[in-house]
Structure 1
Amino acid sequence: MIILASNSASRKAMLDAAGVPYRAVPADIDERAVEADMADAPCPQIAQRLSIAKAEAVSGKHIDQLVLGSDSLVVVNGRRFDKPASRTEAAEHLRFFSGKMIELHSAAALVRGGTCVWSACDAARLHVRDLSDDFIEHYLAAEWPEVSFCVGVFRIEAMGVQLFSQIEGDQFTVLGMPLLPVLGALREYGELLS
């Protein structure tokens, strides 16, 4: 059984659906500090570093177990976005995203004994349709506070799908973790049957 260094509902749902035995132990790291230290790095590297940092943080207390960390970053017009701190900020993010393309970078890492043994990152492009203020208000009335935990202010498996006119990329990457490479790595490390 692996440890998932997250309490993300979508990541847990992916592992549940794939039949991966795990125990969730949320990581306690300062994500903004990690991002600040890597301010000039490409987004895929930042997402990978965050996923490794989460797994490392949990691995320290579970030395013998394989720990899975994962993280997602959103970039729109060269600007990186974090989870919204308030409903007002969520509306501001959605107004900025309107009519633009979101680049979503989702990374995952496996750590054992404090050492990263595997990591990967994948990207998806989500084309946001033109969003009216009325739609944004209706959307947040229905989806807040659940989307406050989501970078990009959406849950693709819920009403968030209405934000987009087109999505390019793997569905699991959009959900927040490059699941197929993760499953391959778990088979390689003997956590799943090959």
Structure 2
Amino acid sequence: MIVLASQSASRRAMLEAAGIPFVAQASAVDETGLKRELIGVPAADVAMILAEAKALGVSMAVPGQLVLGGDSLVEVAGRQFDKPVSRANAAEHLRFFSGQTMALSSATVIARDGAVIWRHVETARLNVRQLSNSFIDSYLDSEWPAVSGCVGVFRIEARGVQLFETIDGSHFTVLGMPLLAVLAQLRALGELPA
């Protein structure tokens, strides 16, 4: 059994669907504070640093257990985006994303007893179509507040798929965790049958 250092519904759903036994334990990492210290650092690196901080923080509280930490970050036109803080902020994000390429980096770290065992990051590129104001309003009417906890203001498994023209990258990475790489590492560690 692994410990998921996250309360992310998407990460929990991926592990459940893959048949991975786990318990979820939220990390106490101050993500906002860490991000303030990382201004100017590339998004994939920030996601990795946050995933590592979460995994290491929880691993100290559960001796001997494998702890899986994860984080995702969105970057558009050189600007990093966090989860929207309000519906108006979500609309601002969507207007900014319109017609641009979104780079979504999902990082995962496995730790045990306060030491990193493995780390991995993948970046998907999502081409956002031109979004009209009426579409954005309609979209948020149906998706808010469900997307309030989603970096990029979308759930790809729901109506968020309508934001994009093309996607280059793993579906699991877009969901928030490079699941195939995680499964391969769990097999390598003997946590899953080969």
With the length of structure 1 as denominator, give the TM-score of the two structures: 0.97
Alignment pair present for 1:174 and 2:177: no
State the 1:30 CA deviation.
1.0
Alignment pair present for 1:158 and 2:164: no
Cα distance in structure 2, aligned partners of 1:11 and 1:134: 31
Letter in 2 for 1:176: G
Please tell me the root mean square deviation across aligned C-alpha atoms, in Å: 0.8
State the 1:57 CA deviation.
1.6
Question: Could you say which residue in structure 2 is the equivalent of 1:67?
Answer: 67
Q: Structure 1, residues 22-58: CA drift from partner, whole Å, max 9, x if none?
A: 0011112111221222223222111111101111121
Question: Could you say which residue in structure 2 is the equivalent of 1:77?
Answer: 77
Where in structure 1 do 4 or more consecutive aligned residues deviate above 6 Å? none
Cα distance in structure 1, aligned partners of 2:119 and 2:36: 21
Cα distance in structure 1, aligned partners of 2:29 and 2:3: 16
Question: Could you say which residue in structure 1 is the equivalent of 2:54?
Answer: 54
State the 1:180 CA deviation.
0.8
Question: Could you say which residue in structure 2 is the equivalent of 1:95?
Answer: 95
Letter in 1 for 2:112: R
Cα distance in structure 2, aligned partners of 1:138 and 1:41: 35
Question: Could you say which residue in structure 2 is the equivalent of 1:33?
Answer: 33
Alignment pair present for 1:126 and 2:115: no
Letter in 2 for 1:71: D
Letter in 1 for 2:142: A
Cα distance in structure 2, aligned partners of 1:96 and 1:167: 18
Cα distance in structure 1, aligned partners of 2:26 and 2:119: 18
State the 1:166 CA deviation.
0.6
Moved more, 51-60 or 160-169: 51-60
State the 1:97 CA deviation.
0.4
Cα distance in structure 2, aligned partners of 1:37 and 1:192: 37
Cα distance in structure 2, aligned partners of 1:108 and 1:8: 13
Structure 1, unpaired ranges of 5+: none
Paired-residue identity, %: 56
Count of aligned pairs: 194
Q: Structure 1, residues 72-115: CA drift from partner, whole Å, max 9, x if none?
A: 01000000000000111000000000111100000000010011
State the 1:59 CA deviation.
1.1
